[in-house]
Protein backbone atom coordinates (compact mmCIF):
# COMPACT_ATOMS: atom_id res chain seq x y z
CA UNK A 1 0.00 0.00 0.00
CA UNK A 2 1.27 3.46 -0.86
CA UNK A 3 2.03 5.40 2.32
CA UNK A 4 3.94 8.25 0.73
CA UNK A 5 2.22 11.62 0.45
CA UNK A 6 2.77 13.21 -2.96
CA UNK A 7 2.84 16.98 -2.59
CA UNK A 8 2.38 19.71 -5.15
CA UNK A 9 6.06 20.57 -4.66
CA UNK A 10 7.02 16.99 -5.55
CA UNK A 11 4.93 17.11 -8.71
CA UNK A 12 6.42 20.46 -9.71
CA UNK A 13 9.93 19.16 -9.08
CA UNK A 14 9.36 16.17 -11.35
CA UNK A 15 7.86 18.46 -13.99
CA UNK A 16 10.98 20.63 -13.87
CA UNK A 17 13.20 17.54 -14.08
CA UNK A 18 11.39 15.94 -17.01
CA UNK A 19 9.16 18.41 -18.82
CA UNK A 20 6.25 15.95 -18.50
CA UNK A 21 2.68 17.05 -17.79
CA UNK A 22 1.33 17.61 -14.28
CA UNK A 23 -1.07 14.66 -14.27
CA UNK A 24 1.56 12.33 -15.69
CA UNK A 25 3.99 13.45 -13.00
CA UNK A 26 1.40 12.89 -10.27
CA UNK A 27 0.65 9.41 -11.58
CA UNK A 28 4.35 8.54 -11.92
CA UNK A 29 5.13 9.59 -8.35
CA UNK A 30 2.08 7.78 -7.00
CA UNK A 31 2.98 4.56 -8.82
CA UNK A 32 6.60 4.69 -7.58
CA UNK A 33 5.95 5.79 -3.98
CA UNK A 34 7.65 9.15 -4.52
CA UNK A 35 10.92 7.74 -5.91
CA UNK A 36 12.01 10.38 -8.45
CA UNK A 37 14.42 8.19 -10.42
CA UNK A 38 11.85 5.41 -10.62
CA UNK A 39 9.22 7.97 -11.60
CA UNK A 40 11.39 9.15 -14.49
CA UNK A 41 11.72 5.54 -15.68
CA UNK A 42 7.94 5.07 -15.30
CA UNK A 43 7.31 8.09 -17.52
CA UNK A 44 9.76 6.85 -20.13
CA UNK A 45 8.21 3.38 -20.13
CA UNK A 46 4.81 4.96 -20.79
CA UNK A 47 6.23 6.84 -23.76
CA UNK A 48 6.50 10.30 -22.20
CA UNK A 49 9.20 12.51 -23.70
CA UNK A 50 11.56 13.21 -20.84
CA UNK A 51 13.90 16.21 -21.09
CA UNK A 52 17.38 14.89 -21.92
CA UNK A 53 19.11 17.63 -19.98
CA UNK A 54 16.70 17.81 -17.08
CA UNK A 55 19.49 18.59 -14.61
CA UNK A 56 20.25 21.85 -16.39
CA UNK A 57 16.94 23.32 -15.19
CA UNK A 58 18.08 23.04 -11.59
CA UNK A 59 21.59 24.36 -12.23
CA UNK A 60 23.01 26.45 -9.41
CA UNK A 61 25.65 29.10 -9.96
CA UNK A 62 29.36 28.93 -9.34
CA UNK A 63 32.72 28.39 -11.00
CA UNK A 64 34.24 25.16 -12.35
CA UNK A 65 38.02 24.94 -12.65
CA UNK A 66 39.83 22.04 -14.34
CA UNK A 67 43.61 21.84 -14.47
CA UNK A 68 46.54 19.44 -14.48
CA UNK A 69 49.92 19.12 -12.85
CA UNK A 70 52.90 20.42 -14.81
CA UNK A 71 53.78 16.88 -15.96
CA UNK A 72 50.19 16.17 -17.05
CA UNK A 73 50.05 13.03 -14.93
CA UNK A 74 47.24 14.22 -12.66
CA UNK A 75 44.19 16.39 -13.22
CA UNK A 76 41.61 17.86 -10.87
CA UNK A 77 38.25 19.50 -11.49
CA UNK A 78 36.55 21.44 -8.74
CA UNK A 79 33.27 23.37 -8.52
CA UNK A 80 33.01 26.29 -6.11
CA UNK A 81 29.31 27.04 -5.84
CA UNK A 82 27.43 30.23 -5.06
CA UNK A 83 23.84 31.42 -5.34
CA UNK A 84 23.83 34.00 -8.15
CA UNK A 85 25.47 34.53 -11.51
CA UNK A 86 26.37 38.03 -10.35
CA UNK A 87 28.83 36.47 -7.90
CA UNK A 88 29.97 33.66 -10.21
CA UNK A 89 30.96 36.17 -12.90
CA UNK A 90 32.85 38.38 -10.46
CA UNK A 91 36.59 38.37 -11.20
CA UNK A 92 37.49 38.12 -7.51
CA UNK A 93 35.29 35.06 -7.06
CA UNK A 94 36.78 33.39 -10.14
CA UNK A 95 40.26 34.11 -8.78
CA UNK A 96 39.19 32.67 -5.42
CA UNK A 97 38.06 29.44 -7.13
CA UNK A 98 41.31 29.34 -9.09
CA UNK A 99 43.35 29.62 -5.89
CA UNK A 100 41.51 26.62 -4.43
CA UNK A 101 42.16 24.57 -7.57
CA UNK A 102 45.83 25.57 -7.43
CA UNK A 103 45.98 24.43 -3.81
CA UNK A 104 44.45 21.08 -4.76
CA UNK A 105 47.12 20.54 -7.40
CA UNK A 106 49.98 21.72 -5.19
CA UNK A 107 48.94 19.47 -2.30
CA UNK A 108 48.07 16.35 -4.30
CA UNK A 109 44.51 16.44 -2.98
CA UNK A 110 42.26 13.43 -3.51
CA UNK A 111 38.93 14.51 -2.00
CA UNK A 112 36.84 17.48 -0.87
CA UNK A 113 37.61 16.65 2.76
CA UNK A 114 41.34 16.82 2.07
CA UNK A 115 40.92 20.04 0.12
CA UNK A 116 39.06 21.74 2.98
CA UNK A 117 42.01 21.03 5.27
CA UNK A 118 44.67 22.43 2.92
CA UNK A 119 46.22 25.80 3.84
CA UNK A 120 46.51 28.80 1.55
CA UNK A 121 48.76 31.50 2.96
CA UNK A 122 48.33 30.08 6.47
CA UNK A 123 44.54 29.73 6.40
CA UNK A 124 42.58 26.54 5.86
CA UNK A 125 40.46 26.36 2.72
CA UNK A 126 37.37 25.63 4.83
CA UNK A 127 37.94 28.86 6.79
CA UNK A 128 38.56 30.85 3.62
CA UNK A 129 35.26 29.58 2.22
CA UNK A 130 33.46 30.67 5.40
CA UNK A 131 35.13 34.07 5.21
CA UNK A 132 34.03 34.46 1.60
CA UNK A 133 30.49 33.49 2.59
CA UNK A 134 30.47 36.16 5.27
CA UNK A 135 31.83 38.87 2.98
CA UNK A 136 29.59 38.10 -0.01
CA UNK A 137 26.44 37.19 1.86
CA UNK A 138 25.73 34.10 -0.27
CA UNK A 139 26.08 30.41 0.44
CA UNK A 140 29.53 29.40 -0.81
CA UNK A 141 30.98 25.90 -0.88
CA UNK A 142 33.11 23.29 -2.63
CA UNK A 143 30.28 21.27 -4.14
CA UNK A 144 32.15 18.91 -6.51
CA UNK A 145 35.63 17.48 -6.82
CA UNK A 146 37.02 14.99 -9.34
CA UNK A 147 40.51 13.68 -10.02
CA UNK A 148 42.18 11.58 -12.71
CA UNK A 149 45.64 10.02 -12.72
CA UNK A 150 46.98 8.64 -16.02
CA UNK A 151 50.10 8.56 -18.22
CA UNK A 152 48.70 11.76 -19.76
CA UNK A 153 45.83 13.94 -18.54
CA UNK A 154 44.27 16.83 -20.46
CA UNK A 155 41.95 19.45 -18.97
CA UNK A 156 39.39 21.77 -20.53
CA UNK A 157 37.03 24.47 -19.27
CA UNK A 158 33.91 25.25 -21.28
CA UNK A 159 31.31 28.01 -21.23
CA UNK A 160 32.80 30.63 -18.90
CA UNK A 161 33.71 28.12 -16.18
CA UNK A 162 30.40 26.25 -16.31
CA UNK A 163 31.82 22.86 -17.34
CA UNK A 164 35.20 21.33 -16.57
CA UNK A 165 36.55 18.16 -18.20
CA UNK A 166 39.46 15.85 -17.46
CA UNK A 167 40.57 13.13 -19.90
CA UNK A 168 43.09 10.39 -19.12
CA UNK A 169 45.07 8.89 -22.01
CA UNK A 170 47.41 5.92 -22.26
CA UNK A 171 50.14 8.16 -23.68
CA UNK A 172 50.80 11.80 -24.40
CA UNK A 173 48.73 13.46 -27.12
CA UNK A 174 47.82 17.11 -26.65
CA UNK A 175 45.69 17.08 -29.81
CA UNK A 176 43.65 14.07 -28.72
CA UNK A 177 43.32 15.37 -25.17
CA UNK A 178 41.93 18.73 -26.27
CA UNK A 179 39.53 17.32 -28.86
CA UNK A 180 38.25 14.57 -26.59
CA UNK A 181 37.69 17.02 -23.73
CA UNK A 182 35.65 19.26 -26.04
CA UNK A 183 33.67 16.20 -27.19
CA UNK A 184 32.90 15.23 -23.59
CA UNK A 185 31.87 18.77 -22.68
CA UNK A 186 29.48 18.94 -25.63
CA UNK A 187 28.07 15.39 -25.75
CA UNK A 188 28.22 14.31 -22.08
CA UNK A 189 28.92 10.57 -22.56
CA UNK A 190 28.19 8.26 -19.64
CA UNK A 191 31.28 6.04 -20.04
CA UNK A 192 34.36 5.49 -22.21
CA UNK A 193 32.80 2.54 -24.06
CA UNK A 194 30.03 -0.04 -23.73
CA UNK A 195 32.20 -2.27 -21.51
CA UNK A 196 32.60 0.59 -19.02
CA UNK A 197 28.85 1.20 -18.58
CA UNK A 198 27.80 -0.12 -15.14
CA UNK A 199 25.72 -3.33 -15.42
CA UNK A 200 22.94 -1.76 -13.35
CA UNK A 201 22.69 1.12 -15.83
CA UNK A 202 22.53 -1.31 -18.76
CA UNK A 203 19.76 -3.34 -17.16
CA UNK A 204 17.83 -0.20 -16.31
CA UNK A 205 18.02 1.03 -19.89
CA UNK A 206 17.16 -2.43 -21.26
CA UNK A 207 14.07 -2.56 -19.03
CA UNK A 208 12.91 0.86 -20.24
CA UNK A 209 13.51 -0.01 -23.90
CA UNK A 210 11.76 -3.36 -23.61
CA UNK A 211 8.71 -1.82 -21.95
CA UNK A 212 8.57 0.90 -24.62
CA UNK A 213 8.51 -1.80 -27.31
CA UNK A 214 5.81 -3.80 -25.52
CA UNK A 215 3.66 -0.66 -25.23
CA UNK A 216 3.85 -0.05 -28.99
CA UNK A 217 0.47 -1.12 -30.49
CA UNK A 218 2.30 -2.43 -33.55
CA UNK A 219 4.09 -4.97 -31.34
CA UNK A 220 0.94 -6.41 -29.79
CA UNK A 221 1.11 -10.19 -29.73
CA UNK A 222 4.68 -10.32 -31.01
CA UNK A 223 6.87 -13.08 -29.49
CA UNK A 224 9.41 -12.28 -26.77
CA UNK A 225 12.22 -13.37 -29.08
CA UNK A 226 11.38 -10.61 -31.53
CA UNK A 227 10.94 -8.02 -28.78
CA UNK A 228 14.30 -8.95 -27.21
CA UNK A 229 16.03 -8.74 -30.59
CA UNK A 230 14.63 -5.26 -31.21
CA UNK A 231 15.58 -4.24 -27.67
CA UNK A 232 19.14 -5.43 -28.30
CA UNK A 233 19.38 -3.26 -31.39
CA UNK A 234 18.07 -0.22 -29.55
CA UNK A 235 20.50 -0.88 -26.70
CA UNK A 236 23.40 -0.89 -29.18
CA UNK A 237 22.15 2.44 -30.50
CA UNK A 238 22.10 3.70 -26.91
CA UNK A 239 25.76 2.74 -26.51
CA UNK A 240 26.71 4.54 -29.73
CA UNK A 241 24.98 7.72 -28.62
CA UNK A 242 26.10 7.69 -24.99
CA UNK A 243 29.62 6.25 -24.82
CA UNK A 244 32.65 8.31 -25.80
CA UNK A 245 34.32 5.90 -28.20
CA UNK A 246 31.04 5.06 -29.94
CA UNK A 247 29.80 8.63 -30.37
CA UNK A 248 30.02 10.49 -33.67
CA UNK A 249 33.06 12.77 -33.54
CA UNK A 250 31.79 16.35 -33.24
CA UNK A 251 34.42 17.70 -35.66
CA UNK A 252 33.63 15.03 -38.27
CA UNK A 253 30.29 13.25 -37.94
CA UNK A 254 31.29 10.77 -40.66
CA UNK A 255 33.43 8.88 -38.14
CA UNK A 256 33.29 7.89 -34.49
CA UNK A 257 35.56 9.12 -31.75
CA UNK A 258 37.20 5.71 -31.73
CA UNK A 259 37.98 6.01 -35.44
CA UNK A 260 39.36 9.50 -34.90
CA UNK A 261 41.76 8.21 -32.25
CA UNK A 262 43.05 5.50 -34.57
CA UNK A 263 44.00 8.14 -37.15
CA UNK A 264 46.26 9.75 -34.55
CA UNK A 265 47.72 6.61 -32.98
CA UNK A 266 46.36 3.05 -33.23
CA UNK A 267 47.64 2.34 -29.71
CA UNK A 268 46.16 5.42 -28.05
CA UNK A 269 43.50 4.60 -25.45
CA UNK A 270 41.22 6.64 -23.21
CA UNK A 271 41.79 5.44 -19.64
CA UNK A 272 38.95 7.51 -18.17
CA UNK A 273 37.31 10.91 -18.00
CA UNK A 274 35.49 13.20 -15.57
CA UNK A 275 32.97 15.90 -16.43
CA UNK A 276 31.97 18.48 -13.81
CA UNK A 277 29.06 20.79 -14.55
CA UNK A 278 27.30 23.42 -12.51
CA UNK A 279 24.11 22.18 -10.91
Measured CA to CA, the distance from residue 98 to residue 244 in angstroms comes to 28
Say which CATH number the domain at 30 has. 1.10.8.10
- Please indicate, yes or no, whether residues 83 and 159 belong to a single structural domain of this protein: yes
- Please indicate, yes or no, whether residues 80 and 160 belong to a single structural domain of this protein: yes
Determine, yes or no, domain membership for 183: no
- Please indicate, yes or no, whether residues 53 and 65 belong to a single structural domain of this protein: no
- Residue of 22 and 250 predicted with greater confidence: 250
Label residues 13-40 b or e (16+ Cβ within 10 Å = b).
Answer: bbbebbbbeeebbbbbbeebebeeeebb
CA angle 66, 187, 51 (to 5 degrees): 115
Residue that terminates a domain, selected from 167, 196, 223: 167
- Please indicate, yes or no, whether residues 78 and 21 belong to a single structural domain of this protein: no
Residue that terminates a domain, selected from 39, 58, 77: 58
Write the pLDDT tens digit of every residue in 39-53: 988 988 887 766 544
Neighbour count for residue 142 (Cβ, 10 Å):
20
Write the pLDDT tens digit of every residue in 210-249: 989 988 888 888 888 898 899 889 998 999 999 999 999 9
- Residue of 16 and 55 predicted with greater confidence: 16
Structural domains counted in the chain: 2
Q: Is 54 exposed, middle or buried (0-12, 13-18, 19+ CB in 10 A)?
A: middle
Confidence bin at 54 (pLDDT 50/70/90):
very low
Residue 26: give the domain boundaries.
1-58
- Please indicate, yes or no, whether residues 107 and 54 belong to a single structural domain of this protein: no
Determine, yes or no, domain membership for 11: yes
Say which CATH number the domain at 77 has. 3.30.479.20
Amino acid sequence: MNTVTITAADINKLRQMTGAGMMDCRKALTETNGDFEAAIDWLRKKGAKVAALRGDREAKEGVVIAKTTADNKTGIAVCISCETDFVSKNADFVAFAQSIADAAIANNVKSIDELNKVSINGARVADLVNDKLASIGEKIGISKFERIDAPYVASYIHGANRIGVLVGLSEASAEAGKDLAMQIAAMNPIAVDADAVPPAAIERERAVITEQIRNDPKMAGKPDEMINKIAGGKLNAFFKENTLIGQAYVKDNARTVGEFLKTLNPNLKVTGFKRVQLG
